[in-house]
Structures are given as C-alpha cells and as structure tokens.
Chain A
Amino acid sequence: MRDLDVVGQSYPQIDAMEKAMGKTKFVSDLALPNMLYGRILRSPYAHARIKHIDISKAKSLTGVKAVVAYADTPGIKFGPRTEDWTILASDKVRFCGDEVAAVAAVDEDIAEGALDLIKVEYEELPMVSDPLEAMEPDVPLIHEDKPGNIAFEFKIDVGDVDEAFKNSYVIYEDRYYTNQVYQAYLEPMGAIADVDLSGRITFWVGTQIPNMMRMTYAKAMGVSPDSIRVIVPDYGGAFGAKMENNVHLVAAVLAQKAGYPVKMINTRHDDFIAGNPRVPMYIDIKLGATREGILTGKEVRVVGGAGARVVYAHAIVATACYRADSLYRFKHVRSKGYTVYTNTVPTSCFRGFGNAQMTFVLESALDTIADQLDIDPAELRIKNGIGPDEVSIHGWIINSCGLKDCISKATEAAKWQEKRQLKKPFRGIGISCCNHVSGNRAFAREFDGAGGIVRIGRDGRVTVYAGESDMGQGQKTVFAQIVAERLGVPLNLVHVAIVDTDFSPFGLGSFATRGTLMGGNGVLAAADDAFKQLADVAAEMLEANPNDIECSNEKFFVKGSPERNVPFKDVTEKATFVRYGSPVVGTGFYNPGTELPDAETKYGNISPAYPFACQVAEVEVDPDTGQIKVLNFVAAHDIGRAINPMATEGQIQGGVIQGLGWALMENMVTENGSIANPDFLDYLIPTALDSPNITPILVEPIESSGPYGAKGIGEPALNPAMSAITNAIYNATGIRIKELPVSAEKILKELKKRPK
C-alpha cells in the first residue's frame, strides 16, 4: 500500500465550523409550512387499567387540529424485536410516562394546554419496579402472556464449569448491580412526520437505524416499508438511545389525522421519563483461578430490567452474558440471562450494550482475585489476555489484537509500578481492560455488512451516501477521509450526504461500534468503483492502460510518471460529457463474512474485528467526607488504524468522562414507580471541572478486515472506565464497589464501618 495522504491525519470534523457557528439545522430546528406541534399525554401511574378516555373537550379547544387515543391508531402490536408495543396504550398503562393520548395544535402552548382537557379514568394496579422482585411468584404480570414477567431467557454453557471451579485455587463469588442511567444527549428525541396524498409517511428524525426503524414503523402503521421514508438530518447525539421510540409514531398518527406535518420533540422531562435509558442489571458472578492466576471458569447470572416493553434489552442482556468471555482465554463459561419486565421506562441501548455492565463486574472480580493471589492486577490481565490470531471460546476469530500492548503502554504512562509501590494513604490506582466488536452479526437480522454510493459530478465534487448516520460522533468525517484517500483528492472535495432511505444504501446503522469498519468499507468499495470509472476516462486522456492509472493530489497520472498528469476535475468533466450528463456513480458493498452464532451454543464469529482497551485511573479519597477525586486517567485503545487520530482521541475522552459520570454520579432514581430526578438538577452529569487529565494512547495494529486497517472506538471508550475508577478506589481504601454509582456518602459509610 502506498503512503496515505488523508487517512491517518487529524482533521477537525468536516461539519465542525457549521456546528460551532450555530448554522447546523438539527431536527429541532426544522420547520415545514403549516406545521403543527404535537404533545403526548403520558401516564401518571406505573401500572393502571385505562377505564375511560374522553378527548372531546381537548378537540374543541381553538387551535387544536387533532387529538388521538388508541382507537385512532392502527391498533397493531409491533416492536423492534418483540411485538409487545402499541403506538398508544390500549387497555392499560405500564409505566409512568407511557403514551396515552396526544394532541397536535398550531403552537406548543395550545398543545400543552389541550393535554389538561383530556380526561382519563384509571384504575391503579399493583406495580413492580425492581427486576428481581418482578421475577418472584405472585407478582403482578405486566404482560399477561409472560409468566414471571420474564420476556426472554438466554443460556450459554461451554466446557465444564463445575470441574473448572473444582480445579481452582481461588474462587470469587459476589453480586453486583449496575444502575439505570440516561444517555443525556444534547437534543431530546423527536421527529417531524408528514403524510402525502398517497398516504406515504416521511419522518425527519434523528436515528441511528433509519432502515431498521422504517421496517418496524411500517409494521406499526400497517403499511409497506416503501410507504415510509426516513430522513436523518443532523441530530444532537444518541449514545445508543435513538432507535425506535413511540414519540415518532405518535407524530405520524397525528399527521395522518390532522392532514398537516406534525413536529413532536420531547421536552427534557419527557425524554427522561420515556426515552430509553440503560438496562439496569443484577449480575451474580463466580470466577475461579489457579494459584498462578490462570482463569479457570466463569459463571454469571444476569437479570436485566427491560422496563414496560422490550426495545433491545434482551440483546443487551445476551451481550452481557457472553461478550466479555472473549477478552481472556476462558475455556469454561456458563451464563444465564433473564430479561425481565418491570413497570418502569423501557430500557435499551447505551454505549457498551451490556458489555459495559459486564466489563464493570468482570474487571472488579479480576481485581479481587489479583488481590487474593497477591498478583499485580496488570500482570494477571496480561497472563490471561487473548492475543492476535487466536480463536476465542465462542469462536470469535481475533485478527489484530493489541490488548497486551494497551496494558503495557497504559501502565507505563500512568506510572503504575511506581504508584503501587509507593502507595500513599487514600490514594489509589486501578486498571481495567475490555474487548468489543466492530459490528455484531448476532444483532443484525438479515445480514451484516454495508453498502456505499459515491457520486462525482462534472465539477469534481464528490458526494458520499452511506447508511450509517452521523450523530456527532464524526462518521461523516471518517467516510470523507476514506473516500478522499481512495480517490486521491483533498478532503474538502468530499461531502457526505445525510441518510435518506429514498437515496442512501440500505444500511443497518450506527451502533455496535460498526460505523467505521462496516460503513467505511462500504463507501471504500463504492469509491473503488467510482475510481475505476474515472480511470477509464483518464486512461484515454493519458493514452494509457486503465489499470496503470493512479490519482493523488487531485491529479491522474500513469503509475511511475506523476509529472505527466491530468487534473481530477478535467477527468470528471470529461466523464460527465462522454456519458451525456450522467454523473459518475460508484457503488459497492462490504461482506464481512461473519457468522450468525449457533442458536444453542452461541458459537460463531460475530464480527470481522475486535477492538481492545486498557484504562488506568488514579484517585484520591477524602477520608473525612468520602469524596472521590479522579486525579489522572490513561486510556490505551487498540482501534486498528486511526482514520482520524484527533477524532479518535475525542471519542476516548468523551467515553472516559461518560464512564466517570456513571461511576461517580449518574443515577436514575425510581421512587414509587416514577423517576424522582427527571432533570439535570438532580440527574448529575460531569462538567469540564469534573474531568481529570485524560491521556489517550492509540495502539494501531493494522486490521486486515478494516478500511485502511481501522476497527472502531465508540463503545470501548467507555466500557472499562467504571471499573478502572472503582478498582482505584479499592486500591485507595480497600472498599470494593459492587453497586454503581459510588457517592461520597456511600464511601464514608463504608469507611465508618471500619475499626479505627
């Protein structure tokens, strides 16, 4: 491969200026002529039967154009994976915030005022908000067809775990709890929906999965998928949350009824109570090791709270059950996972997808075992860590793997040895590792992979179409760099279109840390195709063989003689003319060759590549107040080649701060079935002042399956952060944190239990 010009360079995001100057139009900024504003009447009860709804008064309010309840919806049961959803509540409400009725009016004030005029008679039912309680006998059923409130069970059993435990020198066993946290993206969920005369519905919506959403919504609305168009304008963050949500569908039902476009954006309050926060989990872990510190067996039982309906909680619980097994050389593992209904807000994806929860638990357990065996925790991880060209216990083919490099680089930068040897009172240093995927065949339904389209106009302007949307993570910039590199043009010639299901490839979406590897390979294949078309024209102009044509710095030339060249734009113009105005359109796709895991054994290579990481945190604990200060943070990440090192470092910094927030302050508190802190006054997220100095380290083994050798960074940036901090707290105080988040008050309580 020749030297790279654009890939591997640090560029600001290609849309950074627009965003910094306030020019970007986010979903909330958009307006259509005659647009109405929608609001949803949400349930004040966690569990109640709806006895009667009267919308007549609301309908007669001046300015109100439509009022809808269940009877006005198609009344179809649907769901992204489990058909336990309806667009509005039919006979009962299942959580505080459940959608009961909705209004569209000429302005937001009238819409909100009209909500007060809808009269709903409820009969309260006994409710349950804790997933462990929900599984107990004689607990009210949230969905009558699901005994024990169990929506899903997941099982995996490989090797002989009982035998492995028998052959262990130490066995650690404990229960952990990871709490419900909110993604806290800048822009709340919402959509504009419009219906044309043929009945075709267009959504302008910030979503990570435009095409999968379209399939789900087609079912919900009782129409064919081609009767739905999803346009994804720029949108303000997602962190996993922006998948399917009823707020979009309610907008569509209102638009159908009113005959005008309807804009429905959650208030922050509604987003807290009816978004899709992280799946809370109780995790029982049993972990064994030999005297030398070789891990023998692992057994976990995961109980995840899905809330009132399943969004993707079952897949998240499954991921928690087994993904982390491929971080180390496990031979014997057993997991049971339960996805349990509760009368709380439906939970779903959040950066890490269950692996974040389990990484916290596994890495805490490992830390304890290291302590019991008196082995350096970093050493323990190096001893057991998986390496390149290995096949993991679940059949995952690890191509590139910089795990051990990450460990040695992170510990060196953090002065691990020195800090542990010269330990000061109430100061501590902790380590944590993680693995992840770059795409997840177990989650994608029909296929995994990606397509791309590269269109080049007469003027040489390049437009890239992909199915993986940019929510602020920088997907557009990465695609532009990949395409610019392949075509041999500067970055500013390449533009990336928003995702629109009418024009873009059928992409699975931006999740599972798949955007760069899958989407990047898709647009690279398309750029390849476009390049070949241009090379044919350039070859004619240069009187050469098309196979010998290269392009760099915007000039086509024959390999080996760059001095005789034709400008890129001359070639694109010529190409357009000889085709009678038809633009050069390159298309292509990437097939990752991954396997759908076996239904029984879950064996199968689910991703073309696996990123790894090691993070080291240093903390100081105030023995009087229990307050925790994170002094320093080093995050070493194996991401394959960094397409854009600066953007990658940004992802790492953001992931670490988000993980720090989860570890130390973020918590959705449920009291009597409703969220007690649905605002940023009491749902705390870290500020710049809470951020320690973070040193990102890029470990870049070239990944053979990745575009220019890249893997992914989104989720692994966060996964190890919580346990790096809690392991450091353990090192500082001897307190093992088994429940997130850790507050100063909790620490002080533990410190006070100690004999003085």
Chain B
Amino acid sequence: MRIRPFEYYTAINQSDVLDKLAKYGPDTKVVAGGTDLVLAMKRKTILPRVVVSLHKVRELDFVREEDSRVCIGALTRHADLAMNTTLNDNFPILCEAVSLIGSWQIRNVATIGGNLCNASPAADSAPPLLALDARVVIASSEGEDEIPLSSFFTGPGATVLKSNQLLKEIVVERPKTRSAGCYLKLMRKKAGDLSLVGVAFQAETDQAGEKLARVAIGLGGVAPTPVRSPETEAMLTGLSYDEAIKEIPEAARAAVRATSPIADIRASADYRRTIVEIYVRRAAEKILGTLFNGEDIQK
C-alpha cells in the first residue's frame, strides 16, 4: 500500500495550475485535501505521473456573495463551509450535508471541489447542490465555462472535466422567497461512514407563502451519479401545505423510481430503496413544517 513515485509540483496560483495542467498532460492530477486522491494512489487505482498541489492556491478558498448569487471556491474546506454564515443564512442544507462528511479530521482538510471532482455517487455535497440548481465554473488555460452541476457528473468517479481543466468555483442562486431544506444521510454508524443513501430536500414557497413554488430533491448513493427526482418534485410543486401533506406518501414512493441502487457489502439495493422513500417522506414533512408552520424557522 505504498505510493508509487511521482513528480510533485506546488502551484502558486490558479494560472500556474492551469499552465502546469496544460504542460504535463493527461497523467497529471491536482491534489486539494488529498483525502480521496492519496487513498486512490495507495490502492493504485490512480497512478498519476505528476501531482500538482493546490494548497497554496488560496484564491480559490472563499465564499463570496455576488448580487443574487453566492460563489464557493473549489478549495473551500468542509469545516469552513459548515460554519460559514452566508451559507448558513442562505443554504443551510449545504452546511448540514458537509458537516456530516467523515470526521473533524477529514472536514478540516477535505474540500468541496475535491468532493465533486472525485465524483463518488455518494459524495455528500452533491445532492444539496443539485437541489439548489448549482452551477460550476470550469477553468483551463483556454478560458472559463459555466455549466449546471447536473451535467457535470458522467458516471461513478467520472466527470466532464478534461485533463487540462480545473473546477474553479460553484455558483448558487439565492432563493427569492421563503425557503428551507434539509439533508438526511444514512450511515451504518453515527460518524465516519459514507452515505449509503443521501437525501437532500429543498423547497420554496410562492410570494404569498401559501403554496410550494419550488421543490427540489437531490439523491446520493442510489444511482451511478447523484441524481434529482423530477417526478416527486412535480408531484409536490404548486401544492398548499394541506395538499402537500396528503401527497407526501405517494411522492416519496415516486422518488424511488429515480434511483437504480446497487447491492454491496454496505446495504442491499432493496434497503437503499426503502430508505429513499422514508427519508424523502421525513424530509418533506420536516420542511413543510418549517415553511408553513414556522417550526424551526430558517431565515
């Protein structure tokens, strides 16, 4: 389990990173917190010839408000995200999700960019970001491009990123009306476990605060990539509280249809499906209570 020899380069800023990626070609990997990459190198599932360290590229470690949007630098660490006030005010669902990643030791070094680029189907930051309609900014020496996160993942461990590209930041629109969201994570113990199932439930009311204007559900660990559940979302959107409460059981069952879970040593496919239904139901009930009855009010 030793790491094979490789060339190591510490980039000093973003353009340096992009130059190096362009120069060294396909066998190059960037390393952020290293909590995924180093393990993969030990297991020899990834054998880069060159590793470019991002740890000095502090310009990508930020949470910034820009008009109607909030931008999150790819190198922001989970521990910082979990405690960030801007994020807690606008998207508590994201803070909740990343605060459940690994342990303190992991969250203190691991980054959100690494979490997304590693593209595990169970990455905990992905379901809330999908539910928030997040977009990602991809940079290369040739320029920048902004795409929806929903088209970023292409399969387990795979993204649209080319070898000369860097994930620069994540962009999320601030909700315009009253919103609330929560993340439920199924683990086999209370910390330090990957998501067997992750359910992110985000909803907004209409201006009057009477109906659900937007419902978005991100699901992790139950398909080759993190996915949304459009059918469930459609079933609940436009409903009043009373209507939605009645619809929840059926809508929760519909969420299962968005999934195609695997069976592995961690859980059977059946169990994962059962949990999707239960967690969507529980999350929906909780968020409806928050939005319409003021239980546990979020700003």
Give A contacts to B, CB under 8 Å. 108-109, 112, 267-269, 624-625, 665, 669, 676-677, 681-682, 684, 686-690, 743-745, 748
Q: Are A748 and B194 also in contact (CB < 8 A) when A109-B2, A669-B265, A677-B265 are? A: no
Q: Which of B1-36 contact A (CB under 8 A)?
A: 1-2, 5
CB distance A682 to B103 under 8 Å?
A: no
Which of the four size classes fits the interface of chain B?
Answer: 20 to 34
CB distance A682 to B266 under 8 Å?
A: yes
CB distance B194 to A681 under 8 Å?
A: yes
Chain A residues with CB under 8 Å of B282's CB are 624
**Cβ-closest chain B residue relative to A741:** B188
CB distance B103 to A687 under 8 Å?
A: yes
Q: In the complex, which of the residues B103, B193, B274 contacts A684, with contact meaning CB atoms closer than 8 Å?
A: B193
Cα–Cα, bound, A496→B131 (Å): 60
Cα–Cα, bound, A267→B1 (Å): 7
Cα–Cα, bound, A624→B249 (Å): 13
Cα–Cα, bound, A748→B190 (Å): 18
Q: In the complex, which of the residues B103, B190, B268 contacts A690, with contact meaning CB atoms closer than 8 Å?
A: B190
**Cβ-closest chain B residue relative to A267:** B1
User: Can you give 10 A-B contacts (C-beta < 8 A)?
Assistant: A112-B1, A625-B186, A669-B265, A690-B191, A743-B188, A744-B188, A744-B271, A745-B271, A748-B271, A748-B274
Contact with A along B139-154 (1 / 0, CB 8 A): 0000000000000000
Q: Are A665 and B188 also in contact (CB < 8 A) when A624-B278, A745-B271, A748-B274 are? A: yes
Chain A residues with CB under 8 Å of B190's CB are 687, 689-690
Give 9 new A-B contacts, CB below 8 A, not counting A682-B265, A745-B268, A748-B271.
A109-B2, A624-B278, A625-B186, A625-B274, A677-B265, A681-B194, A682-B266, A687-B190, A745-B271
**Cβ-closest chain A residue relative to B266:** A682
Q: Are A109 and B5 also in contact (CB < 8 A) when A625-B278, A665-B188, A684-B188 are? A: yes
Chain B residues with CB under 8 Å of A689's CB are 189-191
**Cβ-closest chain A residue relative to B279:** A625
Chain A residues with CB under 8 Å of B271's CB are 744-745, 748
Chain A nearest CB from B190 CB (Å) reads 4
Chain B residues with CB under 8 Å of A744's CB are 188, 271
CB distance B265 to A690 under 8 Å?
A: no
Q: Are A269 and B278 also in contact (CB < 8 A) when A676-B265, A677-B265, A684-B193 are? A: no
Chain B nearest CB from A690 CB (Å) reads 5
- Tell me whether B46 is interfacial, beta carbon within 8 Å: no
CB distance B5 to A665 under 8 Å?
A: no
Chain B nearest CB from A659 CB (Å) reads 15
Cα–Cα, bound, A624→B103 (Å): 26
Chain B nearest CB from A565 CB (Å) reads 53
Chain A nearest CB from B60 CB (Å) reads 28
Chain B residues with CB under 8 Å of A688's CB are 191
Chain A residues with CB under 8 Å of B103's CB are 687
In this complex, the member of B5, B103, B271, B278 whose beta carbon has the largest number of chain A beta carbons within 10 angstroms is: B271
Cα–Cα, bound, A407→B139 (Å): 67
Q: In the complex, which of the residues A268, A665, A677 contacts B189, with contact meaning CB atoms closer than 8 Å?
A: A665
**Cβ-closest chain B residue relative to A624:** B278
Query: What are the 4 tightest A-B residue pairs by CB atom distance, in nearest-first order?
Result: A689-B190, A745-B271, A689-B191, A112-B2
Cα–Cα, bound, A360→B191 (Å): 27
**Cβ-closest chain A residue relative to B271:** A745
CB distance B189 to A684 under 8 Å?
A: yes
Cα–Cα, bound, A686→B187 (Å): 12
Cα–Cα, bound, A690→B188 (Å): 10
In this complex, the member of B5, B188, B194, B275 whose beta carbon has the largest number of chain A beta carbons within 10 angstroms is: B188
Chain B nearest CB from A624 CB (Å) reads 5
Contact with A along B153-164 (1 / 0, CB 8 A): 000000000000
**Cβ-closest chain A residue relative to B5:** A109
Chain B residues with CB under 8 Å of A682's CB are 265-266
Cα–Cα, bound, A53→B265 (Å): 34
- Tell me whether B267 is interfacial, beta carbon within 8 Å: yes
Chain A residues with CB under 8 Å of B192's CB are 687
Cα–Cα, bound, A689→B189 (Å): 8
Chain B residues with CB under 8 Å of A669's CB are 265
Chain A residues with CB under 8 Å of B194's CB are 681
**Cβ-closest chain B residue relative to A626:** B271
Chain A residues with CB under 8 Å of B1's CB are 112, 267-269
Cα–Cα, bound, A112→B275 (Å): 43
Chain A residues with CB under 8 Å of B186's CB are 625
CB distance B267 to A745 under 8 Å?
A: yes
Chain A residues with CB under 8 Å of B188's CB are 665, 684, 743-744
Chain A nearest CB from B93 CB (Å) reads 21
Chain B residues with CB under 8 Å of A745's CB are 267-268, 271
Chain B nearest CB from A115 CB (Å) reads 10
In this complex, the member of B189, B194, B266, B268 whose beta carbon has the largest number of chain A beta carbons within 10 angstroms is: B189
Q: Are A687 and B274 also in contact (CB < 8 A) when A112-B2, A267-B1, A745-B268 are? A: no
Chain B residues with CB under 8 Å of A625's CB are 186, 274-275, 278
Cα–Cα, bound, A269→B2 (Å): 12
CB distance A686 to B275 under 8 Å?
A: no
Chain A residues with CB under 8 Å of B189's CB are 665, 684, 686-687, 689-690
Q: Which of B248-286 contact A (CB under 8 A)?
A: 265-268, 271, 274-275, 278, 282
Chain A residues with CB under 8 Å of B268's CB are 745
**Cβ-closest chain B residue relative to A111:** B2
Chain B nearest CB from A330 CB (Å) reads 38
Cα–Cα, bound, A690→B268 (Å): 23
Cα–Cα, bound, A240→B194 (Å): 30
Chain A residues with CB under 8 Å of B274's CB are 625, 748
Chain B nearest CB from A528 CB (Å) reads 48
CB distance A108 to B2 under 8 Å?
A: yes
Chain B residues with CB under 8 Å of A684's CB are 188-189, 193
Cα–Cα, bound, A3→B186 (Å): 55
Cα–Cα, bound, A676→B263 (Å): 14
In this complex, the member of A268, A665, A677, A745 whose beta carbon has the largest number of chain B beta carbons within 10 angstroms is: A745
**Cβ-closest chain A residue relative to B277:** A624
Chain B nearest CB from A132 CB (Å) reads 22
Chain B nearest CB from A291 CB (Å) reads 42
Chain B residues with CB under 8 Å of A269's CB are 1
Chain A nearest CB from B282 CB (Å) reads 8
Chain B nearest CB from A102 CB (Å) reads 16
Contact with A along B35-65 (1 / 0, CB 8 A): 0000000000000000000000000000000
Cα–Cα, bound, A744→B76 (Å): 34
Chain B residues with CB under 8 Å of A108's CB are 2
